[in-house]
Amino acid sequence: MRITPNPSRTGTARTKGSSAIGALPLCMGLMTIAAPLVAQADSPSANSESRNYNIAAQPLYSALSALAEQSGVQFVYNSELVKGIDSPGISGQYSLEGALKRILSGSRISYRFNSGNTVTLQNTAELEPQSATTMPAVTVIGKTDLDPDDPYNLSYTRTNTALATKTDTPIMETPASIQVVNKAVLHDQQSYRLQDAIKNVSGVQSYHSYGGDHEQFVMRGFLQSTVNYRNGIRIPFTKFDLANVERVEVIKGASAMMYGFGDPGGLISTVTKQPSSTPYYSLEQRFGSYDFYRTEASATGPISKEAGLNYRLDMSYLDTGSFRQNMGNDRIFFAPTLSWEATADTKFTLSYEYFDENNAYDYGIPAVGNQLARIPISRAFVGRSDLRNSTTNNLVDFRIDHRVNDQVKLNAGVVSSQYQKYWQGFYTGRVNETPGNSFGNATRNYWFSPENAESLTAWVNGTFDFETYGVKHKLLLGGEYYNSQLKYEVASGNVDTINIFNPNIAAVSDAQLSRIRNASYNDVIATENTSKAIYFQDQMTFWDKLHIMGGFRYDWVDREQDLSWWAPAGKDARNDDVVSPRVGIVYQPLKWLSLFGSFTESFGPANDYDTGGAKLYDLFDATQFEGGVKTQFFDGKLNASVAYFDLERTQFFQDPNSNLINAQVPVKGSSKGVELDVQGQLYEGLSVIGTYAYTNAKVTDDVTAPANIGKRMPFAPNHQGSAWLKYDFDGEWLKGFSVGAGVYVSGRRYGDAANSYFDRSYARLDLMAAYKRKLGDVNLTTQVNVNNVNDAEYYVLRSRRTNLPAEPLAVMGSIKLEY
């Protein structure tokens, strides 16, 4: 039996129960008898005046503890009753009973308001029916229909995230710019790649990375590395399939205090779907332009409710062609997860991901003069349809969450990623731009390379909630170990010379291909990065309106590289110690309004690839000042934020005078700007995502090309924005229908630090329509998305030699069954 005491009546620390209580069966009967004695004369009012509750999705026992603290009531129940059950949490204005119903939704647990300040919880079958007197009608204001993680939830908003603080903190109380792309958005836009989700976030542009083999982005004017994050853990050298992704979270700006060496513009993290005790099954088939076929399937539910054992399985299969000649890819993705709630306070989660892809290396279209070459966007220079890079990635993630009591929570985990790739790529050299017979000529080269990489992250966090002299503290103490290793061998050389304006590009012959595949490797590259870190953070709350956060992280960073082309000088190692501070403040004069400011730092390198130089560069450093306003309207259904940032760092750009693909030189850059994000529900049925970013990013110092100083940083436009609207009909005749439309706009973007070429402004229109219908116990959804309706021509940039045309008008349809 568990009792959650009323903190306002105990007169001591706000203890709402502990694991020890649940572990003493002998006390169960005594606690049940004692509950009315502990209660005061006042009776809780089930339909009392509504108040604001903010309780994250979590195990039911801890959600009840939080509700007890926020409502001032006690809950009496057998601890076995809630074992293995999760609660969707609650956010918004509710009456007491409305809040309790929300917390218990899906649990089959009933409740009874007693004459004292207690509420008894029992299995529905064991509880006697309530009379109208003891069970008043529920009054709910601003009710959110479903759990934020419920597969049927249509909400575009999320109120809490752990990405920026590593603690479950309301976004309104976090002094940072955070954007969350929920699964409802991913579904409405039929997203399956990270870039499909990120288009809904202000100030982010895609970057054409390694022939399309990695997903990289430009944030706040700075190029990201090949590193992305999964559940807040860095995963290098990989793409993410969104089949098992619950949402995508983006934190803007420097974030070394939380995540160590990384990118200054921000980080992007997928959050994976977790096993549920509520059974759910889905099967979806998508089909579209350019021979696009994708199958997704999901299943979750209990293996043993008594043991608290749940499972989840997500998988996908992709087979698609391309509007580009000889391009396309196929992919298999498989992700099982098991969770075991060993006790009411201890949970183990084990997940695995298998990713297997074969895709063509697409070098794109080069620049000629100050613009992209005026050739058909379908033209590629590979000349063969049977060349595919092969990629396999195996990831294992083990996590432990333990609640010592309501004030102390511990978690730890280990994530291992094993990556194998075999590159088979043809690429062009610099195009001859001199008028004459050779105008448009370019050498065609090959790059065949086996590559292996692995990473290991081990981490431990402790969160401590306490109060000193009226100041509430949420203290985070943690440590992290990270190691990544990369090794690849390269067979590279010249194939022939082609002319990019000749529509009849000669195919590479079988004899040439055989010679290339049997060529000896002429370069060997090996790198290793290791970091060990400890960090400390304190989130303080004064008068429930002022939130001050401060912390620091201490990193020991070791780097090694062995580059055969610089032998013997290419073998180098460095050891660096770095302290990364962070301070922030949030003032909430009203519940729906937050004013915030912060100072943060970052350091690099973030990229796990070699720098290309004979010696390892110094770690770059970055500093950011940020301030802004966050708002919530319509009981939290609509969120909006405006942020101003001032960011400066040492950047690395590709050396245009070097023949080495990865050769880079240090360049300093600064970026200032304003970002606006609006996300949520304008009124019943109408959802919106709106973004705008003004980014003034300039080169401030360039040791090898002083003429670049003052020029625009590449890839990021001065202005970009988007607006996506979706309406769900609820009338008698149109119930089940949804329609949506989105516009994505960007200004001119330059492709290098010299601003030698650019891509013009563009505006793209996307449309969608869907119909949902209930067929017995099965939900059927049919949907069609039309992307780039206006056939806008624009490019994802990289360098003068390689830029990928964006996909023209494309149609994607789908049929989905859910049960």
Over residues 50-55, mean pLDDT: 75
In a domain, 146, yes or no: no
CA angle 439-444-450, nearest 5°?
Answer: 155
Give the pLDDT confidence of 230-264 residue by residue, as tens digits. 999 999 888 899 999 999 999 999 999 999 988 89
Say yes or no: 262 and 295 in one domain.
no
Task: Give the domain extent around 247.
Answer: 160-267
**Shared domain check, 339 and 217:** no
**Residue 147 maps to a domain:** no
**What letter does residue 226 receive in the DSSP assignment?**
S
Q: Which among 343, 225, 296, 304 is positioned nearest to 609, based on CA atoms?
A: 225
**CA atoms of 740 and 233, how far apart (whole Å):** 34
Indicate the pTM of the whole model.
0.83
Burial of 528 (0-12, 13-18, 19+ CB in 10 A): middle
pLDDT-derived band at 290, boundaries 50, 70, 90 = very high
Output the six-digit token pair for 21: 């209580």
Q: Tell whether the model's pLDDT for residue 139 goes beyond 60.
A: no
For residue 323, tell me if it sits in a domain.
Answer: yes
**Residue 806: what pLDDT?**
95
pLDDT exceeding 70 applies to what percent of the chain? 87
| Residue 192: CATH number of its domain | 2.170.130.10
pLDDT at residue 769, rounded to an integer: 98
Residues 253 and 298 in one domain: no
Distance spanning both ends of the chain, measured CA to CA: 35
Q: Which pLDDT value is given to residue 737?
A: 96
Band of residue 676 on the pLDDT scale cut at 50, 70, 90: very high
The pLDDT score that the predictor gives to residue 18 is 35
In a domain, 155, yes or no: no
Higher pLDDT, 624 or 237: 624
Residues 53-72 pLDDT 10s: 878 778 888 888 888 878 87
Residue 631 lies in a domain: yes
The pLDDT score that the predictor gives to residue 87 is 85
Q: Are residues 652 and 519 in the same domain?
A: yes
21-28 — which CB contacts under 8 Å span 24+ positions?
21/79, 22/61, 22/79, 22/343, 22/344, 22/345, 23/79, 23/343, 27/1, 28/1, 28/78
Domain identity same for 12 and 114: yes
Query: Given pLDDT bands bounded at 50, 70 and 90, which one contains residue 15?
Result: very low
Give the least confident one: 179-183, 267-271, 568-572, 583-587: 568-572
The domain total for the chain is 3
pLDDT for 567: 66
With a CB cutoff of 8 Å and minimum separation 6, the contacts of 212 are 359, 361, 362, 804
Q: Is the pLDDT of residue 268 over 80?
A: yes
443 and 554: one domain? yes
Give the model's pLDDT for residue 535: 98
Residues 6+ apart with CB under 8 A from 82: 2, 59, 60, 61, 64, 107, 109, 121, 344
Residue 133 lies in a domain: no
Based on the fold, state whether residues 259 and 200 are members of the same structural domain.
yes
Regarding whether 325 and 221 lie in a shared domain, the answer is no
Per-residue pLDDT, 659: 44
pLDDT, residue 285, reads 98
Q: What is the pLDDT of residues 314-352, one digit of tens each?
A: 999 999 999 999 999 999 999 999 999 999 899 999 999
| Structure tokens, 225 | 């590395």
The angle, 0 to 180 degrees and rounded to 10, between the axes of the packed helices 96-104 and 60-71 is 170
460-517 per-position pLDDT tens digit? 999 999 999 999 999 999 999 999 999 989 898 999 999 999 988 888 888 888 888 8
Mean of per-residue pLDDT scores for the chain: 86
With respect to residue 787, please indicate whether it lies within any of the assigned structural domains. Answer: yes
In a domain? residue 714: yes
At which of 267, 290, 321 does a domain end?
A: 267
Q: In this predicted model, what pLDDT tens digit does every residue of 198-217 receive, in sequence order?
A: 999 999 999 998 888 888 99
More confident: 78 or 427: 427
Band of the pLDDT at 452, cuts 50, 70, 90? Answer: very high
681 contacts: CB under 8 Å, gap ≥ 6: 155, 156, 157, 634, 637, 638, 687, 688
Neighbours of 506 (CB within 10 A): 12
Stretch 664-681: mean pLDDT, rounded?
87
371 with 518, same domain: the answer is yes
Alpha-carbon span 393 to 626, nearest angstrom: 37
Asked if pLDDT for residue 194 goes beyond 90, the answer is yes
Q: Can you give the pLDDT at residue 67?
A: 87
Instruction: Compute the average pLDDT of residues 426-443.
Output: 92
CATH code of 110's domain: 3.55.50.30
Q: Which burial class, exposed, middle or buried, applies to 235 when counting CB atoms under 10 A from its CB (0-12, 13-18, 19+)?
A: buried
**What is the structure's pLDDT at 431?**
94
Residues 122 and 207 in one domain: no
Q: Are residues 801 and 659 part of one domain?
A: yes
Pick from 71, 100, 126: which residue ends a domain? 126
Q: Show which of 267, 302, 324 is a domain's final residue.
A: 267
Residue 37: predicted pLDDT: 29
pLDDT of residue 14: 32
Co-location of 657 and 725 in the same domain? yes
For the domain that residue 576 is a member of, what is the CATH number? 2.40.170.20
Phi, psi of 244 (to 5 degrees): -110, 20
- On the question of pLDDT at 518 being above 90, the answer is no
Q: Give the mean model confidence (pLDDT) for residues 31-55.
A: 48
